[in-house]
Structure 1
Amino acid sequence: MSEYQAVTFEQSGAVARIVLNRPEAANGMNDTMTAELADVAARCDTPATKAVVLTGAGRFFCAGGDLKAFAAASSRGRFIKGVADDLHRAISTFARMDAVLVTAVNGAAAGAGFSLAVAGDLVLAAESASFTMAYTKVGLSPDGSASYHLPRLVGLRRAQDLMLTNRTLPAAQALEWGLVTDVVADAELGDRATALAEQVAAGSAPSHGAVKTLLAASSKNGLEEQMELEGRLIAQRADSADGREGVDAFLGKRRANFG
């Protein structure tokens, strides 16, 4: 884990764990963190990894962009574009990989931290967690996939509310709005995230990847196009080793042993 400066990465069997590790800076995103996040995301995009847990060190999940680093750059726009590009590369990899991303939101998630948190396939929030966009408060605009995910998760009106007023949502309200999958006690978050990742990792990663592909396509496809994609993907899965094993295990009344 010492190979990175701003994140930690470890692999235990089919489960990978990524920790945003700048607690002294509220896990704020600078160029080092986002470059490393893009690198570890690529490392997770392999058949050996079936689930990924992403969380933050210390009291914050991530307070967003590191404004001190932005202000110190000789060209703020170019610097921020580079940070955003690396963050977007990481989020794109997480979205396209077969492995399921479990985000464990251990504290405040602001700005790009909010964006990254809700980009998870499964989102667990500690009871003390909170969510705020915060971009317009400092004269900036959203990044990190927020303008893609938020309207789909909470609808246009609530996305406008979050982005334009910088409303802070406590974890319970984030659950009510559909931003997170579940809210758990602070002391239980780590164990719950690990257990969820292990549960997912016991399944078929390509099957989970197909679910991710279908859901991503559903917002742009018409009915017939989406059903054709469903038909093609389920046929591929039926011909795969995991598909054959899953059906045989069900008929044999035993637990499936996926690759």
Structure 2
Amino acid sequence: MSHSTNFDTIEFEINDGLAVLTLNRPDSLNSFNKQMHEEMQQALDILTEAEGLRCVLLTGNGRGFCAGQDLSDAAVLPGGDLGESIENYYNPMIRKISALPVPVICAVNGVAAGAGANIAFACDIVLAAKSAKFIQAFCKIGLVPDSGGTYMLPRLVGHARAMGLALLGDAVGAEQAENWGMIWKAVDDEALREEALKLAQNLATQPTKGLGLIKKALQASLGNDLDSQLEMEKAFQREAGYSDDYREGVEAFLEKRKPEFTGK
């Protein structure tokens, strides 16, 4: 499967089941304006419907990953209804990223501020350049963390650290973010793209259906009690057990060879 679409504010392509989505407003640190929101939604809709998709890599061009909302955009000028922007753009984006039935890798190549940080946290595995910083910048302009920030931060770093980050707006470097469990791994700046791509390419060869069920189970565990989670594991294991990839995995193990998963 291959696909490419020409956008102005993002770069987007799918090759051999791997989708690479790159935020591309480097002069504004990839901050979101109305056009970028609309193009991001189009790309996510394509991913949601794409057959044979096996992994997604999200990153940014230039010296920043994403500075959140472009505050010069007419849609978010003071006096307007910011809830409308959240309802129409940010919430659907976070829901679509979270609901993709494949691993979503985020490579944070520079500052991730405001919604930019929380978009990264909505992904399944986050790598960050060691020079990158994560900033809950909302408190600096009288706003509230959005894009799932108040949901994800306490689950990633605990209540005390989440409260400090949200109320103070202090920057957290990539290595500290790794130590806190906020991200998966901090890597040397010059190695970020290659390492993220290598990870995404590897995941695109793995048992995609099973990985998607793992993702759903871990997401659901945040709100389930133990009995509910055990029942979900039973249902998901039953589903995974009928997959072609499970059959291939067992056969490859017994035959002492490398499996060739199809994602089905």
TM-score between the two structures when normalised by the length of structure 2: 0.92
Instruction: Please give the alpha-carbon distance, in whole angstroms, between the structure 1 residues aligned to 2:246 and 2:204.
Output: 16
Structure 1 residue corresponding to 2:161, chosen from 158, 165, 168: 158
Once the two structures are superposed, residues 86-123 of structure 1 have per-residue CA deviations (whole angstroms, 9 ceiling, x without a partner) of 23222212211221111000000000001011211110
Amino acid at match of 1:186: D
Q: Which residue of 2 aligns with 1:213?
A: 216
Match status 1:123 vs 2:150: no
Q: Which residue of 1 aligns with 2:140?
A: 137
The answer to whether the 8 A contact 2:94-2:119 is kept is yes
Q: Which residue of 2 aligns with 1:181?
A: 184
| CA 1:20–1:83: 2 relative to 1, 3 Å | farther
Match status 1:201 vs 2:194: no
Q: Which residue of 1 aligns with 2:254?
A: 251
Match status 1:57 vs 2:61: yes
Match status 1:35 vs 2:29: no
Instruction: Please give the alpha-carbon distance, in whole angstroms, between the structure 2 residues aligned to 1:220 and 1:83.
Output: 23
Q: Which residue of 2 aligns with 1:96?
A: 99
Question: Over aligned residues, Cα RMSD in angstroms?
Answer: 1.7
The answer to whether the 8 A contact 1:63-1:111 is kept is yes
Unmatched 5+ stretches in structure 2? none
| CA 1:74–1:112: 2 relative to 1, 3 Å | closer
Once the two structures are superposed, residues 144-165 of structure 1 have per-residue CA deviations (whole angstroms, 9 ceiling, x without a partner) of 1111111110011111111000
State the shift of 1:71 in Å: 6.9
The answer to whether the 8 A contact 1:114-1:131 is kept is yes
Instruction: Please give the alpha-carbon distance, in whole angstroms, between the structure 1 residues aligned to 2:191 and 2:87.
Output: 32
Q: Which residue of 2 aligns with 1:23?
A: 26
TM-score between the two structures when normalised by the length of structure 1: 0.94
Q: Which moved more, 1:88-97 or 1:100-109?
A: 88-97
Q: Which moved more, 1:102-111 or 1:240-249?
A: 240-249
Amino acid at match of 1:4: F
Q: Tell me the matched-pair count.
A: 258
Unmatched 5+ stretches in structure 1? none
State the shift of 1:246 in Å: 1.6
SS of 1:28's equivalent in the other structure is coil
Structure 2 residue corresponding to 1:233, chosen from 236, 243, 256: 236
Q: Which residue of 2 aligns with 1:9?
A: 12
Identity %: 37
Instruction: Please give the alpha-carbon distance, in whole angstroms, between the structure 2 residues aligned to 1:13 and 1:70.
Output: 39
SS of 1:67's equivalent in the other structure is coil
